[in-house]
Chain A
Amino acid sequence: MAGGEQHENALGGEIQPVVHMWGIVKRFPGVLANDHVDFDLRRGEIHALLGENGAGKSTLMNILAGLYRQDAGTIMVNGKLVHFNSPRDAIQAGIGMVHQHFMLVPSQTVAENILLGLNEPRFLLRLPEFERKISALGDRFGLKVDPKAKIWQISVGEQQRVEILKMLYRGAQVLIMDEPTAVLAPQEIEYLFVTLKAMTTEGKSIIFISHKLNEVMAIADRITVLRKGKVTAAGIPAQGTSRQELARLMVGREVLFQIERKPRPAGEVVLSIEDLHADNDKGLPALQGVSLHVREGEIVGLAGVAGNGQRELAQVIACLRKSARGIVRFRDEVISNCNTDRAINLGLAYVPEDRTHVGTSPNLSITDNVIMKRYRKPPIARGWMLDFIEATRFANRLKENYDIVVPSVETPARLLSGGNLQRVILAREISGQPAIMVAVQPTRGLDVGAIEGVHRLLLEQRQAGAAILLISEELEELLSLSDRIYVIFEGRIMGEVKNDMDEKQEIELLGLMMTGTPLEQIRTGGASHE
């Protein structure tokens, strides 16, 4: 096995690593997910595991958490050889993983969720006693949650705290956090970082999986970078490195962070929304009087924490959801509550948030997926038939122009990676030369290289004169692409800022609005703040 021993002694030999993995090999059919990976974690440190999607981060950590078994390689925990056959074995050894998607029962309380699956309490629940225990544990680590609250009542940030508490309650010494910031608002992220730091002073060790360079630089003590299943940087100290260098280690080439946004005068208003009200799937009000407009040749950002009505707004614009009140106008035509195909015919492109369940059809071929919005029109339509040859030709053209990496356009969509799938969707939406484009989280889950490509495509559309509404939870993305930014909170627009002020101030302003303070209130009440 590759010699992993060297790294250990390079930085303070007296610390015995809590976790030591070396020579880890994991093969999936057709993919070498981990190729002799070495990794070590010291007591009381935050160790970031950085890499693009598909680099093998999650695979490596799933092995450590007992979800997968390695094909080769050794794991030692506290100096002892371990073999995990299940997550239960891993947690017994003190290793707990907080997954990106929480595994909580919404209708049960925090305490019930934490106790779920444990041997204690055995028969009688004796909840008050355990609630006290959980509260005490939370206080110790600064993880404040009400043990009596039901999961569906608490915020995403709090749910994450419950997940962490669940692991701590089970005696986890090592916490694996899988992309923990993906669902949080800037302030919540800060809070999380404080808690993580507090936990390390209590002797816990944390593995922080991420592909966001800023965060990694902010929180990690050491960083291990993976690329295509191989380690490209093993436990380098965070101080001694830079964003640029990390990006290069991740992607294998130089990455441009700031894509140039050429100044372009915005044209006439293309999309205007007035006092829009709509319900969510549960019949509760999701939009409560949204008004905004987007001009030709302009990217308008919509910032907000997930679940504040962004999804519903995009669906109403795309005519996929009925509005209860208010108007959506496309130039002079009212399109609210019309049929979806009318919106498509008027030149509305919609990049949905959910690539696999909304944007594509997993078992159909790439060809079938890219003709989704144009199979009714010639040349692909021929009478009531489909011109299969024309459709294939069209699909091949998109494959060339948008660098979709597939062996053939007959490949079913489900076999594509996230980045490729997004390229398929963008290719389909952009190739129609849309007048309006609504893009929801277009770069979620994509790697650095792919994000750059998506951003470039969006800017090209802006240059070509499309009116783009970019709905994103990534502030960084909004700041680098948008001309203006609106903030949505609980179905209301909190305010609008021009994206040309001092970045630090702007982030603070946006952050306040994202947590529910309207802009006017900040301007009047918090004038001293500025």
Chain B
Amino acid sequence: MSEAEHDGKVSHSFSLPFSIRLEPRLEEPPRWFPAVVSLSAIIVALTLGGVIIAMVGGNPFRSYAHIAQASFGSLGVFSDTIVKATPLILVGLACSLAFRMRLWNIGAEGQLYLGAFGASVVVLAPLLPADSPSWLFIPAMLIMGVLAGALWGFIPGFLKARYNVNEIITTLMMNYIAVAWNNYFIFAVWTEGGFQMSPVFPRAAWLPRLTDLAGQYPFLGGLTTHMGLLFGLIAAVVVWFILYRSQWGYEIRLIGDNPTAARYAGINIARNTILVMMLSGALAGLAGMSEISGVVHRLQERISPGYGFTGIIIAWLAKLNPFAVILVSILFGALLLAGREIQPSGIPKMIQGIILVCLIGSDFLLRYRIRIVGRKETA
């Protein structure tokens, strides 16, 4: 062993006058901090998006103004934004709940489709005669939608609990089954004159909309916001209550944070896996029911432009907080709506992507802090 070369001479060949260091945060940042970071991330994202718009020859300010105008500019368009946000709230909650237990339910899309199917059965099978009253139709559709979604959640939940089958794969694959299942009924069983859609539901099977009240309050005329929003808001409160004020929610949070500790506390993880997947599926199923009963009014192809997948992003951005899910959903609803106003694809999708990347990246700042340190020699 040559010991002569180890004489402690260490020099850096390249150095800046300062160094940037990342240090893990040892203390909790103040409460306002996450909000400020998220907001800054959005501002950064919009700036970046603006630069790109300018590069392709657009005027970023006018584009943004247009987006804002098209989604929040008037009561009418805001109502449309809310209509888009409604299913997002429900699937966002579905994902938040499952993710809280670290169950990666990627199947909200399929559960939504199956919820829509379940609700349609009531009208199209038919379980209820077409001249049934509204107070019978809507609860029945709601229950069937929720049950169908829960069933679609139960299957991967059971497989996970019993045989430890990866739920990411099963839920993802079951999305395709759900879409194909619906297609079969749309094409073959309930088709209306060969078109790929069912007949329109009877009026009594429609969720009440604000415009229905226009007789009494004329300013509500034309507003398509429907009762599904109410479902979403109630569901948010219920999910929050379950998570933070119930024994069950305590178990979910404990399992999610540390399954070993949960086992140690005597919690049945298998049972909770199934139950949480079922409730998650039920919420997504409710989104499907609300969508066909509140917006489409029939079962058809493409009732969801990927709401179930957007729900994953929403849950993530809302940091699994049920109330934040509502706000994030409205933001995404606006982007969905206004996006189509300025370009059918491209820029709006890109802005969505940039916002997402910035928000997820900004999470880093909550856990680390950046220090710029002068590289002067200390003596």
A residues at B contact (CB < 8 Å): 1, 28-31, 70-74, 77-78, 80, 82-85, 89, 92-94, 137, 169, 171, 173, 318, 320, 339-344, 350, 352, 357-364, 368, 371-373, 375-376, 381, 384-386, 388, 411-412, 415
A339 B266 Cβ-Cβ under 8 A: yes
Return the contact of A360 from the options B9, B28, B258 (Cβ within 8 A): B258
**Cα(A28)–Cα(B2), bound, Å:** 38
Please list the 6 inter-chain residue pairs (A to B) with the smallest Cβ-Cβ separation, ordered nearest first.
A341-B266, A93-B8, A340-B266, A77-B8, A361-B258, A94-B6
A350 B264 Cβ-Cβ under 8 A: yes
Q: Which residue of the partner chain A has the closest CB to B260? A: A358
A364 B253 Cβ-Cβ under 8 A: yes
**Cα(A30)–Cα(B28), bound, Å:** 11
B27 A29 Cβ-Cβ under 8 A: yes
B1 A171 Cβ-Cβ under 8 A: yes
Contacts of A375 in B (CB 8 A): 247, 250
**Cα(A63)–Cα(B261), bound, Å:** 34
Binary CB contact string for chain B from 235 to 279 against chain A (1 if under 8 A, 0 otherwise): 000000000111111100110011011111111100000000000
B379 A372 Cβ-Cβ under 8 A: no
Return the contact of B10 from the options A83, A169, A372, A384 (Cβ within 8 A): A83
**Cα(A214)–Cα(B263), bound, Å:** 38
Contacts of B25 in A (CB 8 A): 29
Q: Which residue of the partner chain A has the closest CB to B21? A: A69
Having A85-B12, A364-B257, A384-B248, one finds 17 other A-B pairs with CB under 8 Å, namely A28-B23, A70-B378, A74-B378, A74-B379, A92-B10, A93-B7, A320-B263, A340-B266, A344-B266, A361-B262, A364-B254, A368-B253, A386-B246, A386-B247, A386-B249, A386-B250, A415-B27
Contacts of A80 in B (CB 8 A): 7-9
**Cα(A372)–Cα(B247), bound, Å:** 10
**Cα(A84)–Cα(B9), bound, Å:** 10
B203-256 with Cβ < 8 A to chain A: 244-250, 253-254
**Cα(A137)–Cα(B27), bound, Å:** 46
Contacts of B162 in A (CB 8 A): none
**Cα(A30)–Cα(B27), bound, Å:** 7
Most buried by B among A74, A340, A344, A352: A340
Contacts of A71 in B (CB 8 A): 378
A-B contact pairs, 17 of them (CB 8 A): A29-B26, A29-B27, A73-B378, A84-B10, A92-B6, A173-B6, A318-B264, A339-B266, A341-B266, A342-B266, A352-B264, A358-B261, A361-B258, A373-B265, A381-B247, A386-B246, A412-B28
B residues at A contact (CB < 8 Å): 1-3, 5-10, 12, 23, 25-28, 244-250, 253-254, 257-258, 260-268, 369, 377-379
A357 B248 Cβ-Cβ under 8 A: no
A320 B264 Cβ-Cβ under 8 A: yes
Return the contact of A83 from the options B1, B12, B249 (Cβ within 8 A): B12
Return the contact of B26 from the options A30, A77, A339 (Cβ within 8 A): A30
Contacts of B267 in A (CB 8 A): 340-341
Q: Please give the distance in Å from B237's CB to the nearest CB on chain A.
A: 14
**Cα(A1)–Cα(B379), bound, Å:** 8
B12 A359 Cβ-Cβ under 8 A: no
Q: Please give the distance in Å from B162's CB to the nearest CB on chain A.
A: 17
A363 B257 Cβ-Cβ under 8 A: yes
**Cα(A368)–Cα(B263), bound, Å:** 15
Contacts of B266 in A (CB 8 A): 339-344, 373
Q: Please give the distance in Å from B21's CB to the nearest CB on chain A.
A: 8
Q: Please give the distance in Å from A470's CB to the nearest CB on chain B.
A: 19
**Cα(A357)–Cα(B246), bound, Å:** 24
Return the contact of A93 from the options B10, B12, B250 (Cβ within 8 A): B10
User: Contacts A77-B8, A350-B264 hold; do A411 and B28 have CB atoms under 8 A apart?
Assistant: yes
Q: Please give the distance in Å from A74's CB to the nearest CB on chain B.
A: 6
**Cα(A363)–Cα(B255), bound, Å:** 11
Q: Please give the distance in Å from B39's CB to the nearest CB on chain A.
A: 23
Contacts of B247 in A (CB 8 A): 375-376, 381, 384-386
**Cα(A98)–Cα(B7), bound, Å:** 20
Most buried by B among A74, A85, A386: A386
A359 B26 Cβ-Cβ under 8 A: no
Return the contact of A82 from the options B2, B10, B244 (Cβ within 8 A): B10
Most buried by B among A72, A94, A341, A385: A385
A29 B23 Cβ-Cβ under 8 A: yes
**Cα(A504)–Cα(B365), bound, Å:** 56
A340 B378 Cβ-Cβ under 8 A: no
User: Contacts A361-B261, A364-B254 hold; do A31 and B6 have CB atoms under 8 A apart?
Assistant: no
**Cα(A438)–Cα(B246), bound, Å:** 30
B254 A415 Cβ-Cβ under 8 A: no
Q: Please give the distance in Å from B267's CB to the nearest CB on chain A.
A: 8
Contacts of A169 in B (CB 8 A): 1
Contacts of B254 in A (CB 8 A): 361, 364, 368, 372
Q: Please give the distance in Å from B59's CB to the nearest CB on chain A.
A: 44
A358 B8 Cβ-Cβ under 8 A: no
Contacts of A341 in B (CB 8 A): 266-267
